Amino acid sequence: MIRFAAIVIVLIFAVIGYWFADPARAKNVAGVFDNLINQTADIEQDVFEFQALEAINERRQQLNLAALSTAPEIQDALARFGASQRNLADTRLKDLFANLQSEFPGAQYLSATVLLDPRDDGLFKSIAKWEDAGNPQYATLSTLAFRDGLRKGCIAVLARQLPPFDLEAANREGGRFFQRCPHCGSAHAVMLDRKSQTLILACPDCQKPYDVLAADTHEQFRRATDFLEGFRLPGIASTPTPNEDSMLAIWSAVLRHCRYEYDNTSMKRGEAWKKPSETWKDAAGDCEDTSILLADALASAGIESRVAVGWNIHIGQHAWCVAKIGNQQWVLESTLQLKADQTPELRTVADAAEEYQPEQLFDRQHLYFRNDGKERAGCDDYWADSRWETMSVDR
Ligand SMILES: [Zn+2]
């Protein structure tokens, strides 16, 4: 029995000797005891985060991947999430994802894990060994360290946020972008559909449209407002006080000069919108080309004008021009075929309301979306704030 106890004691000393023979290991064991004694000690999150980042970036360097950086907003959200949890070691990743996705809808790529280890460097090793640490699609690492009895634990989150929507970048690189709805503030991903000619961007949450984009003749998407370039009709002198005669003169000049390029459907897919100077040079265009030319030429002459996109009960999908002088508003159809000495007949928007059913309007500065809740319905006022919600385009 004594011999047995002696063997056990020798073995215990051998184990202790083994641990403390290596100073690094000794420090770890000391760390375990330290944790045991002082479980509530504050963890220096900044230091932990920095070390975790170093560990993960060392691995990424070996894999030839770009280094991750910190994401202070996600870090803060993680701290708030941590404060709301009773036991972080039992964190359900599903809850964490739901939380992060509601706070960062633009963080398109997210990965999270909970790791536990008695030693700090064991945790860093686990983070570096984490399969997703070697995934090139992530850009940031956020960590939340905590104590769990004898062990230390951490929640690690990898993320990549989508870049904010930018028409130039979308044209250049394509891909997905982050967009915040100007109506309800909800965030969502946007992608340009290259097969489309006209894109009405609408919010998936409140369903309201907020942008009108169209492909130009160089296959680049532009905002509808950008097609109005300040074009002046040659040979049309501007009058100091715009009146019906000057409006009629501009309308007639556009109708006489431009041949209608006929499509079976006037808003054919895959077809580009032209700028006014291009339509004028070609002396031809379809409904949106000539409406844009007419609206731009009217604006240059000081007459309030807008391009309307919507539905015509005879034609189907259509675009037309509307003009306003004083309290009077007219629908100016830009695809009429005039006989040599014929002058087009003026129609007020009220008279044309049954035939023309506008959905969106635009001029040089703004887009306008129907806010009277009506679809496929005429409109007797293309300028009333009660019918149209104005969207500024300098976003
Ligand atoms: Zn919305």
Distance 173 CA to ligand 1 centre (A): 25
- What pLDDT, on a 0 to 100 scale, did the predictor assign at position 395? 53
Distance 106 CA to ligand 1 centre (A): 15
- What pLDDT, on a 0 to 100 scale, did the predictor assign at position 313? 96
- What pLDDT, on a 0 to 100 scale, did the predictor assign at position 343? 87
Distance 375 CA to ligand 1 centre (A): 18
Pairing of strands 221-223, 356-362: unpaired
C-beta of residue 305 within 8 angstroms of C-beta of residue 248:
no
Integer Cα distance of 106 and 162 in angstroms: 5
Distance 176 CA to ligand 1 centre (A): 18
Distance 6 CA to ligand 1 centre (A): 77
Distance 210 CA to ligand 1 centre (A): 9
Closest CA to 178 of 100, 105, 101, 73: 105
- What pLDDT, on a 0 to 100 scale, did the predictor assign at position 394? 66
Distance 187 CA to ligand 1 centre (A): 8
Closest CA to 258 of 231, 276, 230, 284: 284
Distance 388 CA to ligand 1 centre (A): 16
Distance 227 CA to ligand 1 centre (A): 26
**Domain residue ranges of the chain, discontinuous segments joined by +:** 38-161, 167-209, 224-392
**What are the phi and psi torsion angles at 317 (to 5°)?**
-60, 130
Distance 17 CA to ligand 1 centre (A): 66
Distance 204 CA to ligand 1 centre (A): 7
The answer to whether the predicted template modeling score (pTM) of the entire model surpasses 0.85 is: no
For residue 3, CA distances in Å to 6, 16, 17 come to 5, 20, 21
Distance 206 CA to ligand 1 centre (A): 4
- What pLDDT, on a 0 to 100 scale, did the predictor assign at position 106? 74
Distance 194 CA to ligand 1 centre (A): 23
- What pLDDT, on a 0 to 100 scale, did the predictor assign at position 16? 43
Distance 198 CA to ligand 1 centre (A): 20
Q: Select 38-161's CATH number: 3.30.413.10, 3.30.70.940, 3.40.30.10, 3.40.33.10.
A: 3.40.33.10
Distance 64 CA to ligand 1 centre (A): 40
Distance 291 CA to ligand 1 centre (A): 29
pLDDT digits (tens, 9 = 90+) for 156-180: 999 998 888 999 999 998 888 988 8
Distance 202 CA to ligand 1 centre (A): 8
Residues of the chain with pLDDT under 50: 8-41, 264-270
Distance 207 CA to ligand 1 centre (A): 6
Distance 235 CA to ligand 1 centre (A): 45
Distance 395 CA to ligand 1 centre (A): 16
**What are the phi and psi torsion angles at 77 (to 5°)?**
-65, -35
Distance 94 CA to ligand 1 centre (A): 26
Beta-carbon contacts of 150 under 8 Å, excluding residues fewer than 6 positions away, are: 32, 35, 36, 118
Domain 224-392 coded CATH 3.30.870: no
For residue 140, the surrounding DSSP H or E stretch is: strand 140-148
